[in-house]
Chain A
Amino acid sequence: MKGLYDNEMKLEFLSKTNNEAFARIAVAAFVSQLDPTIDELSDIKTAVSEAVTNSIIHGYEEEEGIVKITAKLFGNTVEIQVSDNGKGISNIEEARKPLYTSKPNLERSGMGFTIMESFMDDIVVESVVGLGTKVTMKKKINSMEEQLENYEGA
């Protein structure tokens, strides 16, 4: 009866920085059905915020475009995809390096991808120059129940 994934949601919004809060809160609300801890939810909100900011200020720069988010729940794992049809990244390896930024004038720290990597379990970055970028991140949610079991077993 169950499909390939247990639940899914999609969001589309304009590439404006005032949508960053909306995007991370919407994803967090969706993930809440897996009963995450406050720390897990905070990690997810931060990772989403980083990916969405990248799409808005790097992908679309000053232009208006659409940022898309898809979130899927498989068992106790969430997969979040943030994509844009912006200018793309020519050197993904360089972009993912800690402290690398192409926008120091905006006081960007170059820590976006590093934070996504360390706050999520897995991240894949796909990009085609001139077509856009897609970031896919996964995180396993250790439900309260499981944490309690670990605690009792310790």
Chain B
Amino acid sequence: MIVEFNKENKSLIFRLTEDVDQHTVEKVRRKMDNEIKGYIPRKVIFDFSNISFMDSAGIGMVLGRYKLAKMLNGNLEIINVNKSMKKIFDMSGVSRIINVIEEGKNEGVI
């Protein structure tokens, strides 16, 4: 995972580099929480452009960070998801509360 912080608009970007399943989520979620608590970003952005696979472990990963970001008065956005990831976020209701943007449709977000 690559972590970037944009000082100008106070957004914290998590660029995922490993396919998301229970194994990888257990590895990154604590680090994500520490970064959020450290930067207190206005917006947390999950960028899925470098990976091609996510299973339901991704739902918990996103919702857990969303709760934390909200608690710290921030927001969260998901960008560059493929069709299959979109289906999972739609099915679970995640896209009803979080902005989920498909690949190639993120102009102006970052």
Binding site for B on A (CB under 8 A): 17-18, 20-21, 24, 39, 42-43, 45-46, 49-50, 53, 56-57, 98-99, 106-109, 111-112, 114-115, 118
CA gap between A43 and B86 in the complex, in Å:
12
Within the complex, the shortest CB–CB distance from A111 to chain B, in Å, comes to 4
Query: Cβ of A112: which chain B residues have Cβ within 8 Å of it?
Result: 56
Query: Cβ of A45: which chain B residues have Cβ within 8 Å of it?
Result: 53
CA gap between A118 and B55 in the complex, in Å:
13
CA gap between A114 and B26 in the complex, in Å:
22
Contact A111-B84, Cβ < 8 Å, known A20-B23, A45-B53, A57-B22: no
CA gap between A45 and B82 in the complex, in Å:
14
Interface of A (DSSP majority class): helix
* A57 and chain B: residue at smallest CB distance: B22
Within 8 A of A (CB), among B47-86: 52-53, 55-57, 59-61, 63-64, 82-84
A21 & B56 in contact (Cβ 8 Å cutoff): no
Contact A111-B23, Cβ < 8 Å, known A42-B53, A43-B84, A50-B56: no
> Contact residue range for chain B?
20 to 34
CA gap between A98 and B82 in the complex, in Å:
22
Contact A111-B53, Cβ < 8 Å, known A21-B21, A42-B84, A53-B21: no
Q: Is B35 an interface residue (CB 8 A)?
A: no
A17 & B21 in contact (Cβ 8 Å cutoff): yes
Q: Is B19 an interface residue (CB 8 A)?
A: yes
A20 & B21 in contact (Cβ 8 Å cutoff): yes
B91 & A111 in contact (Cβ 8 Å cutoff): yes
* B93 and chain A: residue at smallest CB distance: A99
Within the complex, the shortest CB–CB distance from B1 to chain A, in Å, comes to 16
Partner of B55, one of A39, A46, A56, A98: A46
B19 & A109 in contact (Cβ 8 Å cutoff): no
